[in-house]
Structure formats: structure tokens, C-alpha cells
Structure 1
Amino acid sequence: MGTSRNVERRTILKAAGATAATLGLAATTGCGGGDGTSADGTVTIRYAWWGGEPRTIAIKKTIALFEKKYPKIKIKPEFTDYEAFWEKFQTQASGGNPPDVFQNAVGFLRKYDKRGVLMDLKTQADAGNLSLENFRNGVLANGQVDGKQIGIPVGANTMSLVIDLKAFEKAGVEAKFGWTWDEYFDALQTIQDKLKIAGDTGYFSIMYLYDLYLRQNGKAFFTDSDLGFTEDDVTQWWADGYKRVKSGLVADPKKIEQVKPKSGLSAGLAASEFTWDNFSIRYQGEGESDYGLAPIPTTDGKDTGQYLGSLMLSAFSGTKHPKEAAQFIDFMVHDPEVGKIMGYDRGILATTEQYDAFKPTDPNNKGVSAYEDEVAKAGVLGKITPHPSGADVIEAAFLRIGGEVAQGKTKPADAAKALFSEAKAAFAG
């Protein structure tokens, strides 16, 4: 990447810090009854998110700033880990009582838009309560569905390859921008031969990585309403992956399970792992080596299939306080002080106001920022793949079924049939 285009640029690529992924917090209860307005005109709105303790500490600081600026609006926080968040949210949405404002992601937009849960925030932008200006690199489009703005990005990230820098250096292999999948697997073979460890922790169960591979080959994981690939396509993907498990190039899935919640990469079971770039903070805190961000392998030596994903804020369509909810979202995505407090916890800051205000000083945040800058400069970023209603269910199925293939419990062709069957049910739900 950049001038040297390799992973030796440690000042840029080094990942540091402790994991927040394993630090869960219990959810608080929602506001019961009423419309959240007190006798003196003070409005209370509920704000819910998922994430670890560092995120929660930072968000509570930003809430305090907002309440100081808007003394007549009080924020009631609700927070938990990812899985529990969506279990609770589904129950709340079904009961007509979701939070007024909540963290969201692309896999859930169409699902809850289809159910009438999400507010079209363009109406609040038109009313002057929310600005849709100054979003970086076209990321605002991630929150748009069928002409509606139902999510407002707070950060942006992209898929990356996290590598054990010491292992790659010791084996004498280099991750260059534009390298091919064949070159990637050849590098992992060299690592296996020289260091006697697996090259990868289990790439072929990651839906978003398979999406990149498909995009490199003129397809995509999803269309607007269906899967964008065939059973034969994914059968081949999983068959190739299973062969690499059997050969030892991909780590033994049983060993990967044994070290959880630690990553197989930071546990020393393999030399690389595909993940979102802003998740790279976990490895240095967990492992004993040095870790860095390396380029995504390609099919043609150029196109990585990458795009900017994002976490977003959405609002409940039935909120009693749409103006206040929009003002809160506006503050959270545009206020410079909020940007300084949140940093890159939820990805590279999405608006120019916050991006310019936060100057990363630690190696991890510098590395993530530099990685995204290099990917953007390479001109490979495309638009995000559409995610139809049911995408969240299919992502979980892809991970689970891919894991069954890795363990030899399910043959690739049978796994492909199972995935398509589950997808059909998810789309119909």
C-alpha cells in the first residue's frame, strides 16, 4: 500500500490496544409508559446501542454533552452486547416499543423498514432538525433504502486482512497491494512449511469476505431481494476451504473453538485473519506478537471488491418525539467534541466535522486511518452491496454452516443446499 506497498510500514499498520469485544454490559430496562414528557416540558428519549465497556463509557460522555446543550432533552441509555441487543430489539419492535434512537447496521435496514419500524430521516432533514451534509466518501448512501434515509452513519470501515507481522517476516513473505488469491495461499503455504503453523484462521465462513470475492468476479452476495450467487459457486468456495483445513493451511476449527473468545490469530494458531479494519484493536491486547493490516487478495491483481461499511443511527418511526430524536442524531454525527470522544471505536468518523476534530495518537487508530486512506487512494472502493430483508439471518447461517463444513460435519454441496433453503425462508419471513 502507498509507496512501499507492503506490511513493513509498521508505524502505519501496527495494531495496538485491548479488546473491547469480550466486555459485555447488561441491558437497562426501557422507559415504561407515557410519552416521555415531564410537566416542565422536558422530553426523555431512549437511546440504545451494543458494544463493550469502552464504547459505553465514551457514549455516556457524549450524552452528557448533548444534555448540556439541550437541557430540555434527557437521554435514557440502553446497552448490551450485539447478540442480546438484536434479540431484545426484535421483541421491542414486535411490541411497538423500540428505542427512540438506536445503533443500526446495513444487515437490518430492509428488515425493519419492511416492518415499518424505521423513520425516514429525510423528513427531519427537510424540517431543519438534522443535516445530511458533510459525510465522507459517499458513506451516507449506506443508510438509504428505496429513496429513504433510514440510517445515518457514525463511522466507516472496510474489510481487511490482519496478519502476524513477525510470522510473515520470519517466513520471508510479503503482503503487497494487488496480490492475488494464489499469491496469498502460496504465502500461507510458505508460513506453514517454515513455521509449522496454519496460515489462516478460517476465511471461508465469513460472509462479508465471500461478498468481496464474488464482487471481484462480477457477482455479489446479495441482490436487492435474493442471493447473488449459485449453489455451485458456494459449493466450490467451501470445498476449497475444507481442502485447506485438511492440509493444515487453515487452522483446525476445533482448536479455534477452544481458544474463544480469544482469536485464533492472537492465540498463535495461525498467521492471518480477515476482519473489519477497526476490529484490529483486539489482537495486540490478546496476543504476544505484533499485528498489522494487510491488503485484501484479488482475482485480477487490482480489484479487491471493497466498500465502506458503517454503523449507523436510526430512529423509531413511531417515536413521540421525532424532532428531538433527529436533533440528537445530528449532534452525535456532526459535533466535533463527540468525534474527539468516540474516536474510531465505531469506524473512521463519518462526517468531516468529526474526522477533522479527532487526531489519532495511538498506533492502532493511526493504522486503521492510514489503511482506509490507502484503500481509497487505490481507487478500488465501490458501493456497498444491497442487503435485503433477512440478511442478518443469512449471515448467521453462513457462519454456522461454513463452520460445519470446516469440521467435516457437512459436505460442501449439502451445505450449499442448506444455505439456499435457509435463505429462502429468511427472505420470506
Structure 2
Amino acid sequence: MHPATHPTANASDGRTYRTPLLRRRLLRGMLAAIVALPLVGAAAACGDDEAGSDGTVKLSIFWWGGEARAQLTEQALDLYTQKNPNVTFEKVWQANQGYFDKLATLTAGGNPPDIFQIDDNFLAEYAARNATLDLKKYQDSGDLDTSKFPPSLLQYGEVDGKLAGLAAGENTQGLVYNKTLLTKNGLPEPTTGMSWEEHIAWAEEVSKKTGVPGTQDPSADYKAFWVWLRQQGKDLYSGSDLGFTAEDVTKWFELWKGARDRGATPTPDIIHEGNATDITKQLVVTGKSGTSWVWVNQMPELKKNTADELGVIAYPGDPSGQWARASMYWSVFSGSKKAEAAVDVINFLANDPEAVKLLGTDRGLPSNMDLRRVVSDDTTDPAMKQSIEVENKLAETFGEAPQVPIKGHSKVRAELTKAAENAQYGRVTPAEAAAQFVEACKAAIAS
């Protein structure tokens, strides 16, 4: 909605955000379908025009997540229908496993959803195939209100100058540590701004005094590697190529070999366990390490799995290496004949106070900064409140967002784990593992 006629919710003035689809839009949609021909062959398979003959609109929406996310999302969509009775939804969700295989099948097979959830592993790929609607014109007209979004969060949805996805939530890297373990043993807590070497020295001391390895070895963790690269003036990607060299990777692997040799990390088998398990079994909550390298919004889920008090700070080094990452996005299919209605829905999910409160931090911290404060004030979950406070604190030092990862990013992530574990187990030297990794990465992004 344009701000002049449909003011965005404002936490301070108590107004209710309501987003009815204007009749002029419905009439316009009945007269002319909005068709942006994608390369995925689905222009003819986008369902009805903007509105049916009776003025109703049915939108298909597809997302991944667990049952809790499904319930929250369905409640938010039901709320939209309450406020816009002419709009209903065909809701489809599934677990993360196999989601993108199904999305690819739907878009290629002629039955794409009008709205779909996507993340930075695939956003550039779908945008390059013209499968995502450019949201900039809706942003420019005010129909998509991004005025309360952090600029770098919005930027992280741009691909080749087009806004391919609207951030469904904000996240950043978080080093979670076992505060109870440290307090019990009279040890200092780690602090934001520690160098990597200082962090390893701190972890070595934790190992010696507690018998618990001080820190999980993050050499296989692309998030940690990415932040470290940015602190060296490099990046994970540069245009359509890698933003680093084998020499950079060698330095990274050698840093953590030194940490392992000093006993600052767990043994390779335990490191592998931390690499392979989901968030509920991270080493910081299973008692096998003093820290885990996660996303800040995962604090509530971690806290559910331990009686210990947890703390969270930025990754080591200059905190400006971190950025406002879109934990995931809402994208609209480029060939949807219901594009205006679809854009109105994602605008609602980001900017309606009731919807944002319902969704909480399940997809990351609310993108709308005003509503993030409202959620923080209203929540009774101390871990959620802690996540929001930490993210807001880190936002004071965020650097510019990097480019959205290029095609092949998922393979790059997998290859980093493979190469790092080869080095961790001593199967190869750090330099050999680095060379193998870079070669595999180049093959992945070229395919």
C-alpha cells in the first residue's frame, strides 16, 4: 500500500496496519495479466488472472520449515484473509530436506507457486533464470514498504540490480558460549572484538581448566570462513568467481590446525559430530565444547536443549566483517498473474504488527526495525529477547552486505566441510586440503 493512503504500522501511534487490495487493482488485474516471461518455461502455468470474475484471488504459497513454522505461517496468512476476505491461499510446506528439488520441479514443470520462500543458497540462481519478480517497482511505488529495513539487509536481496527477494528476517553470525561453565570455573567470558588468536588462546585456557574443549573448530564452517575472509579484505565471491585463493584457505586451515594442536578444540571425531548435527545437538549444548558457531536467531532453539546459561557475541576479529544477512526471503514468481496481490502479502508479512508478532523470530529477527523492538518488548522468551538485543548491538558495527552467493554455493559449502575434515583428520596437509577445495569450488561454479 502506498504510505499516503495506507500508513504503515507505527509502534508509537498505535494505528492498525490493514492492507485491503484496492478495487482499482482488482479491476486492473481483471483487464490485464502481469506476465514476466521466465526462462523456466512457466509463463502459461501461473493460474488465474489477478482477480476472478467475483473479485476473489487465490494465491499459492510454498515454504519449508518444521511444524511450528507451518502453524505460525498459516496463522499469519489466515490473519491476512481476515483483513482481505477476497484473498485466500493454497498453502504448501515441507521440511527443508528436498524443498529445493520440489521448487525446481514446480517452476520447470509449469506449476510454480505465486509466492515462495528461498534463501541465499539459491536466490541468485533463480534470479538469473528470471524466475523471481523484480520487486523494485513495488518498492518505488510504496506498495512494498522497506523504509524500516536496515539498508544492508535490503541490499542482500539484490541480484544484478534487481530486488529478487524480500528479507523475511534478519540474522548474523553468532558465537554462542557456555556461560555457566565459565562462571563455575572462574573463567572470563569471550568478548566481541577479540582477535582470532586471542579467541584460540582463551579456548586453550578453558580446555585446561575445565576439561571441556574450549571451542568448536569452525574450519569447516562457511559462515566463519566468510567472516574471516572479509576481515582480510577478501570475500567469498567476487562477481561470478571465487573471492579468495588457495593461499587464503591454507592460512585458514593452518590457523585451526594450530588450535587443535594446542588442545583448544575437540578431537576430529567430535568436531565432525558438531559439523554433522542439527542445531539442537550443537556441541555447546551437549557439553562437548565451550562454544558453537551458529546464527544469532538460533539462540532460543539452543537454549531449549540445555539447562546451562548461554551467552552470544560476534565472531572473533573486526565485527564489521559481519553484516545484516537475510536468513531467508519471500520471492514472487516472475510469471504470476497475481503479482500485485502476492506483493501485498509479503508486504503484510513484513510490516503488519499482528503478523510480525505472530511470526516472532522463527525466520530471523523481524526485518522492520520498529516492529523488531515491539517483538522484543512483548516476548516472554529470554533467549529470543537476548537474540534481538545482541543482533541490534552488532548492527551498530555491521559492514556492507556482500553480494548474494552465486550458483554452486551449496556445493562450495559442502566442499569446504569435506576439505576441512580431511585436514582435521590429518589425511592431507592444510595446503593440500586448500588446493583440493579451490579446485572443487571452481568446478562447482563452472558447472
Q: Counterpart of 2:207?
A: 192
Instruction: Return the offset for 1:127.
Output: 5.7
The one of 322, 332, 335 aligned to 2:349: 332
Go from structure 1 to structure 2 and tell me whether the alpha carbon gap of 1:144 and 1:345 turns closer, same or farther (over 3 Å shift). Answer: same
Contact residue 272 and residue 421 of structure 2 kept, 8 A: no
Query: Could you tell me how far apart the structure 2 residues matched to 1:94 and 1:172 are?
Result: 56
Go from structure 1 to structure 2 and tell me whether the alpha carbon gap of 1:376 and 1:35 turns closer, same or farther (over 3 Å shift). Answer: closer
Go from structure 1 to structure 2 and tell me whether the alpha carbon gap of 1:174 and 1:127 turns closer, same or farther (over 3 Å shift). Answer: closer
Q: Counterpart of 1:19?
A: none
**Worse overlay, 225-234 or 135-144:** 135-144
The one of 62, 65, 75 aligned to 2:76: 62
Contact residue 60 and residue 89 of structure 2 kept, 8 A: yes
Spell out, residue by residue over 1:371-398, the C-alpha distance to the aligned partner (whole angstroms, 9 max, x if none). 1222233xx2111211223223212322
Contact residue 46 and residue 336 of structure 2 kept, 8 A: no
- Answering whether residue 249 of structure 2 is matched by residue 234 of structure 1, we say yes
Go from structure 1 to structure 2 and tell me whether the alpha carbon gap of 1:278 and 1:239 turns closer, same or farther (over 3 Å shift). Answer: same
Instruction: Return the offset for 1:156.
Output: 0.9
Query: Could you tell me how far apart the structure 1 residues matched to 2:217 and 2:104 are?
Result: 30
Query: Could you tell me how far apart the structure 1 residues matched to 2:305 and 2:268 are?
Result: 19
**AA in 2 matched with 1:335:** D
- Secondary structure at the aligned position of 2:121 is classed as helix
The one of 126, 130, 148 aligned to 1:116: 130
TM-score under structure 2 normalisation? 0.81
Contact residue 58 and residue 342 of structure 1 kept, 8 A: yes
Q: Counterpart of 1:217?
A: 232
Query: Could you tell me how far apart the structure 1 residues matched to 2:95 and 2:427 are?
Result: 29
Contact residue 153 and residue 401 of structure 2 kept, 8 A: no
Q: Counterpart of 2:47?
A: 35
Q: Counterpart of 2:400?
A: 383
The one of 102, 112, 123 aligned to 1:98: 112
Query: Could you tell me how far apart the structure 2 residues matched to 1:40 and 1:225 are?
Result: 47
- Secondary structure at the aligned position of 2:107 is classed as helix
Query: Could you tell me how far apart the structure 2 residues matched to 1:41 and 1:372 are?
Result: 43
Q: Counterpart of 2:305?
A: 286
Spell out, residue by residue over 1:284-331, the C-alpha distance to the aligned partner (whole angstroms, 9 max, x if none). 222242211123211xxx444111101221111111211111111111
Query: Could you tell me how far apart the structure 2 residues matched to 1:171 and 1:221 are?
Result: 38
Query: Could you tell me how far apart the structure 2 residues matched to 1:40 and 1:58 are?
Result: 29
Go from structure 1 to structure 2 and tell me whether the alpha carbon gap of 1:83 and 1:254 turns closer, same or farther (over 3 Å shift). Answer: same
- Secondary structure at the aligned position of 1:65 is classed as helix
Query: Could you tell me how far apart the structure 2 residues matched to 1:116 and 1:342 are?
Result: 29
Q: Counterpart of 1:277?
A: 296
Spell out, residue by residue over 1:188-241, the C-alpha distance to the aligned partner (whole angstroms, 9 max, x if none). 111111111211222111112111111111111111221111101102211332
Query: Could you tell me how far apart the structure 2 residues matched to 1:415 and 1:93 are?
Result: 37
Go from structure 1 to structure 2 and tell me whether the alpha carbon gap of 1:251 and 1:92 turns closer, same or farther (over 3 Å shift). Answer: farther
**AA in 1 matched with 2:341:** E
Query: Could you tell me how far apart the structure 2 residues matched to 1:128 and 1:427 are?
Result: 37
Instruction: Return the offset for 1:256.
Output: 4.9
Contact residue 257 and residue 424 of structure 2 kept, 8 A: yes
Query: Could you tell me how far apart the structure 2 residues matched to 1:233 and 1:366 are?
Result: 37
Go from structure 1 to structure 2 and tell me whether the alpha carbon gap of 1:403 and 1:250 turns closer, same or farther (over 3 Å shift). Answer: same
Instruction: Return the offset for 1:247.
Output: 4.4
Go from structure 1 to structure 2 and tell me whether the alpha carbon gap of 1:322 and 1:127 turns closer, same or farther (over 3 Å shift). Answer: farther
Contact residue 173 and residue 190 of structure 1 kept, 8 A: no
Instruction: Return the offset for 1:118.
Output: 0.9
Q: Counterpart of 1:251?
A: 266
Q: Counterpart of 1:17?
A: none
- Secondary structure at the aligned position of 2:256 is classed as helix
Q: Counterpart of 2:65?
A: 51
Contact residue 46 and residue 337 of structure 2 kept, 8 A: no
Q: Counterpart of 2:167?
A: 153
Instruction: Return the offset for 1:98.
Output: 2.9
Sequence identity percentage: 29
Q: Counterpart of 2:434?
A: 416
- Secondary structure at the aligned position of 1:286 is classed as coil
Contact residue 349 and residue 355 of structure 2 kept, 8 A: yes
- Secondary structure at the aligned position of 1:421 is classed as helix
Instruction: Return the offset for 1:246.
Output: 4.7
Contact residue 110 and residue 388 of structure 1 kept, 8 A: yes
Alignment of 1:71-82 (within 5 A): 71-82=85-96
Unaligned stretches of 5+ residues in structure 2 = 1-44
Unaligned stretches of 5+ residues in structure 1 = 1-32
Contact residue 171 and residue 190 of structure 1 kept, 8 A: no
- Secondary structure at the aligned position of 2:284 is classed as coil
Q: Counterpart of 1:13?
A: none
Spell out, residue by residue over 1:32-75, the C-alpha distance to the aligned partner (whole angstroms, 9 max, x if none). x7715766443222212222222111111101011112222221
Contact residue 101 and residue 315 of structure 1 kept, 8 A: yes
Go from structure 1 to structure 2 and tell me whether the alpha carbon gap of 1:191 and 1:125 turns closer, same or farther (over 3 Å shift). Answer: closer
TM-score under structure 1 normalisation? 0.85
Instruction: Return the offset for 1:405.
Output: 2.7
- Secondary structure at the aligned position of 2:203 is classed as helix
Query: Could you tell me how far apart the structure 1 residues matched to 2:141 and 2:385 are?
Result: 38
Q: Counterpart of 1:18?
A: none
Query: Could you tell me how far apart the structure 2 residues matched to 1:283 and 1:357 are?
Result: 23
Q: Counterpart of 1:364?
A: 383
- Answering whether residue 104 of structure 2 is matched by residue 85 of structure 1, we say no
